[in-house]
Amino acid sequence: MFQLWWNEITSRLPDWSWLTSPESEAIWLAVLIGALFSFTLFFLLLWLVPSRKRTSLRSVFEAQLRLLREKIQAGTTKRIGKNKWEGRYFEKFASLVHQAGKPYGIEPVEWWFIIFSGVIFTVVGVFGQMIIDLFLFGKKSFPLLFFTISLLLCVGWPLLYLKWKANKRRTILFYDLLRAIGRLSELLDFHISHYELVRRSLISTRKLKEYIPRLDEWNASPKDALQRMETQIGLKEGILLTNTIRYAMENTIESTKLHLVRLENSLRILRQEEERIRTKRLELGFSVWIIPPFVIAFVCLAFPWYRYFLEMMEGLM
């Protein structure tokens, strides 16, 4: 019965170009079914565990996860320190992760480890498929489609996601900065303390309110608190914000208001210029990626009619 069911499934498998024979399709299908069965059994057993034991298991799981993250950070940092070329690329990648705001609380070293592990698994999978086809079925092959899709998933998708997250966060912080500048200008007339000036000007923002320094940090050293906040933001908006706060703390109210008006106007002009450049890029991308395929498709559709028109003209002449 099981053999009939297995033959029926393997006979209906699609003709994937990266699987060079029906036998290799059956092997990959068995691996996929085994992995799905294992994950399903694990989550089913976890769901059946009582809530009291589930709470204790969650604390154990968090401790094990913390230990695993520490090992990953230590091992990846050690490997990056040995390879200079990897260190140069990692600095740029770490800057991108900080600009994206460390999504899901994952550190740059851990993001780098995820991408590196994906590349290693891709290479192992490609060589495994080549060895299976060569020694078991006597065929030389290279799973090009599997190799391409795997690299796009393990390298391209994280980079695109981080860039999208960084652009989104940069836009939110820009409008938060404008809102904070306007609120700061209004609060200057109330002659409140510097900490309350910072807290009230940032409390109504979307993202900047997450970086408000604590009162004990501010009382210990306002300079260090502002520097820490600038580092946590990780973008030029953070530098502009902290410099503006320092200017307000060191100068008169009239001078600060004039500075805030000039800064707000400059930021709006800068934003308009960035939007203009982005629109130009969209127009260029449309011209490069949309118009040529459309022209080629139009020519392919019109060519038979053109041939028919020429034949008809030759018949009339």
15 pLDDT band, cuts 50/70/90, is: very low
CB 177 within 8 A of CB 267: yes
51 pLDDT band, cuts 50/70/90, is: low
> Span 213-226, mean pLDDT?
91
Q: DSSP states of 53-91 as a string?
A: HHHHHHHHHHHHHHHHHHHHHHHHHHHHHH-HHHHHHHH
Tell me what pLDDT residue 220 has.
92
> Span 205-230, mean pLDDT?
91
Burial of 129 (0-12, 13-18, 19+ CB in 10 A): buried
| Cα distance between residue 204 and residue 209, in whole Å | 7
- The mean-pLDDT minimum among 29-38, 86-95, 119-128 falls in 29-38
Percentage of residues in the chain with pLDDT exceeding 70? 85
Give me Rg for the CA atoms of the chain: 30
- The mean-pLDDT minimum among 28-32, 51-55, 207-211 falls in 51-55
According to DSSP, residue 138 is labeled -
Mean per-residue pLDDT over the chain, rounded = 80
User: Does residue 191 register a pLDDT over 90?
Assistant: no
Tell me what pLDDT residue 199 has.
92
User: Does residue 218 register a pLDDT over 90?
Assistant: yes
Q: What is the pTM of this model?
A: 0.69
User: Does residue 286 register a pLDDT over 90?
Assistant: no
CA angle 136, 138, 140 (to 5 degrees): 115
Tell me what pLDDT residue 82 has.
80
Over residues 232-258, the pLDDT tens digits come to: 888 888 888 899 999 988 888 889 989
CB 140 within 8 A of CB 133: yes
CB within 8 Å of 304: residues ≥ 6 apart: none
Tell me what pLDDT residue 17 has.
46
| Cα distance between residue 262 and residue 269, in whole Å | 11
Distance of CA 163 to the CA centre of its chain: 6
Tell me what pLDDT residue 75 has.
85
224 pLDDT band, cuts 50/70/90, is: very high
| Cα distance between residue 267 and residue 288, in whole Å | 31
Q: How many CB atoms lie within 10 A of CB 112?
A: 23
User: Does residue 18 register a pLDDT over 60?
Assistant: no
On the CB side of 211, how many CA atoms lie within 13 Å of its CA? 25
Length of the chain: 317
The candidate with the shortest Cα–Cα distance to 170, out of 281, 264, 275, 279, is 275
Q: How is residue 315 written in tokens?
A: 């018949």
Helices 157-187, 236-250: inter-axial angle, 10-degree rounding: 20
